[in-house]
Structure 1
Amino acid sequence: MDVNIVHSFFLIFAGAAVVASVALYTKQPLILAYIALGALFGPYALQLVDQPKLLDGMSHIGIIFLLFLLGLDMQPSHLFNMLKKASWIAIASSLAFAALGYLTAKAFHYTEMESIIIGLAMMFSSTIICIKLLPTTVLHHKHTGEIVVGLLLLQDIIAIAVLLALVAIGNSSNDSDSLQHYLMPIIGLPTLIVGSFLLVRYILLPLISKFDRFHEYIFLLSIGWCLAMATAAEILGLSAEMGAFIAGVALATSPISQYIAINLKPLRDFFLILFFFSIGASFNLDLLGLVIWPALALALLSMVAKPTVFRYLLKGLKEDKNTSWEVGFRLGQVSEFSLLIAYLATSLGLIGVEASHVIQATAILTFALSTYVVILCYPNPIAISDRLRRD
């Protein structure tokens, strides 16, 4: 391994251990400590870690494992029922948040295209924050967790459509390529779902049944299956995260699924630390003065509007008030997809660097605000109060 990578890993994880200790003593969320460490050590501050692109790629694996483990906790029948019930809520809420983001960006005098992109970035909630703050042994099997996860998955589908549309706009000179980008996911999603369940039934489950006493083999088989489906999803025009989630759901019917989930958690946490570090490291602190006010306005509007919108939309599903508010606050932030939208739109020349950093700053602020709300008010694995701490 390159000595610079070893040095970077030492700084990240030694630094993470220090800031985690400080955060625990001062009763602060660990997630925010990792982001702050990234901003401090990254290329725009102390410049101690100068390979943010490499770290960003590695941290992406953490999100893949997170979605795979989530899928292992989901029974397909419950999941499909929730997706069917919540689809109109995901669409209606996404349109409302897009309009809110667009109007706010226009109020700060961003261009028409930049306002549209900022509006699109406001549509989604963070899968990684929401799932990180869901108790894995409690809410995943309860109604609140099913609603949160169902809405996140529907938002992921909408986000993929948005990303494809941006690519099509950016490459509008080649109509055949744009059409191919739209058609591939439409064909790829059902192909991936059917293929995954067939492979699990006729290949993975027989292998697991025959060699389940070899724990190392089960560990390797599950990692290989997760990454194979993530790769297949990308080839079919979908996201790697969606492929990993489908891999987990397909394997959830196996009696050994919980054993796999427990043993993969340390590996997931390793990569998630890299993910949060890379968010902080990628933010250009020199632009903070330009973007802080629009970002703060968007963040506060997100934290107020999202719970309110979900509260009233969920009335249509006959959900009680407490459940609706909890779902809304858990989904109150913007998404890591928003960061991807900002990066893609900037690389395609659709928005400027300042607008891109507005989206990034909004994401970081809502990550922080949402995390505080959830850890102080609702059951979660990192709650400050023992009464709310659930793993």
Structure 2
Amino acid sequence: MPHETPLISTIVAGFVLAFILGAIANRFRLPPLVGYLVAGVLVGPHTPGYVADQQLAPELAEIGVILLMFGVGLHFSLKDLLSVRGVALPGAIAQMAVATAMGWALAWLMGWSHGGGLVFGLALSVASTVVLLKALQERRLVESERGKIAVGWLIVEDLAMVLALVLIPAAAGIASGQGGDATHGDPVALLISRALNVDLGLTGVIGVTLLKVALFVALMLVVGRRLIPALLHRIAHTGSRELFRLGVLAIALGVAFGAAKLFGVSLALGAFFAGMILSESELSHRAAQESLPLRDAFAVLFFVSVGMLFDPTIIVRDPWPVVGTLFIIVIGKSVAAFLIVLAFRRSVGTALTISASLAQIGEFSFILAELGVGLNLIPEEGRDLILAGAILSIILNPIVFFAADRIRPRLEARILRQSQTASPPAEAPSAETAASEPSAAAPASARPAPEEEKEPALPDIETEGETEPTTLSGHAVVVGYGRVGAIVVDQLKSANTPFLVIEDSEKRIAELREKGVEVIVGNAAHPAVLALANLKGATRLAVAIPDAFEGGQVTEQARAQNPGLLIIGRAHSDAEVDHLAKLGADVVIMGEREIARGMLERIGEPMTKARGDAPGPREHVAGAYPGAPEAVGEPSPLTQSAMADPTVEPSSQAPDGASSPTNPDASPAKTA
């Protein structure tokens, strides 16, 4: 029986077109989100053909925003949020003020009213939650110091928008001479006004709004802090994975919806607090894993919904206003944020990351645009300019990040030279110290500048070890300092083998530096970061991160930089083994197989061939061949010699998976 299914058709059209166009964009080395945005344009009302439901698409996209902010909250604590308040709070307010002023100036040039200019400027001042967080996640910066500042900045913008969405209707009512209409933007303020039979005015509306936000935060910190983790623990004890996943979604969506309806805060802010409260539980990691697939899927629909709003003809109709709007978003906001962060004596790297993150606008801008048109504050042309600025700035955002990465070393080197000129030469380490501790012989840039030493309570760890490449040669490189990487590092340090670690987690970086280990700060999947490790002069690379996709990126780039480098990777399945091997890994160790091998050896039945293995190179790569060490915790001869002895070459291993002549019992390390 034929029937209308707008929900299903919208989801299907969004996902299918986003997948096809995202894959095409990726094929041409463009960010997939460009394909997602184009998919939205194709199913939008401004292009011929199928038109998706314009009411359902934004609501589905909002689920992605909620889950994204919930996931970020799971990696944050209240301490993390408070630690960046000194930069995020005044910085966000100052940046919004500058961007609003620039938007107002452009509106004035176009002949709009002062109220319209204010709304237009506010819409250009606030960044998109989804775009900012996805950019940080792709670069693995969410848990870094600069990532925390960016998220704190985002929270301040969200709180400012909560006030703006209440005050703009009130201000419009007063400006139109309808003083009694000042509270119509806030139902609670209207209820209080009627109960007390008084006109609260703007001051009263601000007070009521701030009171509601304070009540929400207090409720989450006092009640939610006890109730939410306890509820999730009780669900976990049932042993049902389905119930646990459902519980995570219910908490994320339920708290976000309740916060929006009862306290007037944004859905994203409510979800962030739910995640932050849950981050104190040991189940937070599992909760993040369960919500990840849905989060990414609905985040795609966000970009599709943005594309649906875009009318391409505005570029032809109003080219110069579009250019001016885009200039304010991409250049004006970025420069303002960059200078503001530097004014707080943060590093160039941090300032560039914050400025690039904010060089776009999104969901709050759309809400302000619709509100401004509905209140007759801005013309429909203003809404079209905001939408055009949003989609174009989102497309350009990856390019802005790329440009920031390219100019960062030059700017940091210039500032470093200035600081070295101003600092006394006694601060430089002695040659004897560098020679006696090769693994700790970090470059001069690895030491904090005098300005950073004045802020011990809030160290900017991201500035360290990023300006100059390592001075090591003939060394080993370890990517990742997790459970596997930590074991590898300890063994290398015990063997006095020169090595360095590439890591981007602030806590792990601090731990490594306490141990005197040289660290390159950043995501090893980026060629610029990998180049700092001097792979051309290295002999071995251990890719110890669990993500095979990201490990493949590191492997491929490392092989391109040094064809003779011995690369050892880790995997969790045969497919991942094959993936890493095709990208250039010499040895790939599957942890599950090594556990099985250890169990069989303890039983007394050595594993001679892993189930499902085919003979040939795959056996060699996966490590499924005879001759395993006697103890699971012992490093195998192959990996031990490969990591500790620079003379071991990949070519010394037989291509058919047999042991090399020099080591008949070779097999991959069991510690993986």
Distance 2:314 2:528 in 1: 36
User: 2:243 maps to which residue?
Assistant: 217
Say if 1:171 and 1:271 are closer, same or farther in 2 by CA, change over 3 A. Answer: farther
Residue number among 237, 257, 271 corresponding to 1:231 in the alignment? 257
Distance 1:286 1:137 in 2: 34
TM-score of the two chains, using structure 1 as the length reference: 0.91
User: 2:230 maps to which residue?
Assistant: 206
Structure with bigger helix share is 1
TM-score of the two chains, using structure 2 as the length reference: 0.55
The answer to whether the aligner puts 1:262 opposite 2:292 as a matched pair is: no
Distance 2:307 2:127 in 1: 18
**1:287-314 deviations in Å (ceiling 9; x for gaps):** 4433332122221233222232222212
Q: How does 1:1-391 map to 2 (within 5 A)?
A: 2-135=4-137, 138-172=140-174, 173=178, 174-177=181-184, 180=189, 182-212=206-236, 213-234=239-260, 235-374=262-401, 378=405
Percent of aligned pairs with the same amino acid: 24
**1:292-341 deviations in Å (ceiling 9; x for gaps):** 32122221233222232222212232201222122111211223211111
Distance 1:190 1:380 in 2: 37
**1:352-390 deviations in Å (ceiling 9; x for gaps):** 111110111111111111222225655789979996997
Is contact 1:42–1:49 with CA below 8 Å preserved after alignment?
Answer: yes
Aligned-partner residue type, residue 95 of structure 1: A
Please give the secondary structure, in 2, of the residue aligned with 1:333. Answer: coil
Is contact 1:71–1:247 with CA below 8 Å preserved after alignment?
Answer: yes
Say if 1:136 and 1:287 are closer, same or farther in 2 by CA, change over 3 A. Answer: closer
Say if 1:364 and 1:382 are closer, same or farther in 2 by CA, change over 3 A. Answer: farther
Say if 1:258 and 1:153 are closer, same or farther in 2 by CA, change over 3 A. Answer: same
Please state how far the C-alpha of 1:276 moved relative to its aligned partner: 0.9
Aligned-partner residue type, residue 13 of structure 1: F
Aligned-partner residue type, residue 5 of structure 1: L
Say if 1:167 and 1:175 are closer, same or farther in 2 by CA, change over 3 A. Answer: closer
Please state how far the C-alpha of 1:171 moved relative to its aligned partner: 4.2
Unmatched 5+ stretches in structure 1:
none
Distance 2:250 2:137 in 1: 26
Aligned-partner residue type, residue 144 of structure 1: R
Please state how far the C-alpha of 1:105 moved relative to its aligned partner: 2.4
Distance 1:123 1:41 in 2: 28
Q: Which moved more, 1:121-130 or 1:370-379?
A: 370-379
Distance 1:363 1:390 in 2: 29
Q: Which moved more, 1:254-263 or 1:113-122?
A: 113-122
Please state how far the C-alpha of 1:104 moved relative to its aligned partner: 1.9
Please give the secondary structure, in 1, of the residue aligned with 2:157. Answer: helix
Say if 1:293 and 1:346 are closer, same or farther in 2 by CA, change over 3 A. Answer: same
Kindly report the root-mean-square deviation, in angstroms, between the aligned alpha carbons of the 2 structures: 2.7
**1:32-63 deviations in Å (ceiling 9; x for gaps):** 21111111221110241241111111111111
Please state how far the C-alpha of 1:170 moved relative to its aligned partner: 4.1
Is contact 2:235–2:247 with CA below 8 Å preserved after alignment?
Answer: no
Please state how far the C-alpha of 1:90 moved relative to its aligned partner: 1.3
Is contact 1:292–1:361 with CA below 8 Å preserved after alignment?
Answer: no
Is contact 1:134–1:380 with CA below 8 Å preserved after alignment?
Answer: no
Say if 1:29 and 1:131 are closer, same or farther in 2 by CA, change over 3 A. Answer: same
Aligned-partner residue type, residue 368 of structure 2: I
Please state how far the C-alpha of 1:9 moved relative to its aligned partner: 2.6
Please give the secondary structure, in 2, of the residue aligned with 1:134. Answer: helix
Please give the secondary structure, in 2, of the residue aligned with 1:32. Answer: helix
Distance 2:319 2:29 in 1: 26
Unmatched 5+ stretches in structure 2:
190-204, 406-521, 532-548, 552-672
Please state how far the C-alpha of 1:96 moved relative to its aligned partner: 0.8
Is contact 2:13–2:52 with CA below 8 Å preserved after alignment?
Answer: no
Distance 1:137 1:279 in 2: 23
Is contact 1:138–1:390 with CA below 8 Å preserved after alignment?
Answer: no
Please state how far the C-alpha of 1:220 moved relative to its aligned partner: 1.4
Please give the secondary structure, in 1, of the residue aligned with 2:125. Answer: coil
Q: Which has the higher relative contact order, 1 or 2, with Cα contacts under 8 A spaced 6 or more apart?
A: 1
**1:118-157 deviations in Å (ceiling 9; x for gaps):** 1121211222111011127942221110111111111111
Larger Cα-atom Rg: 2
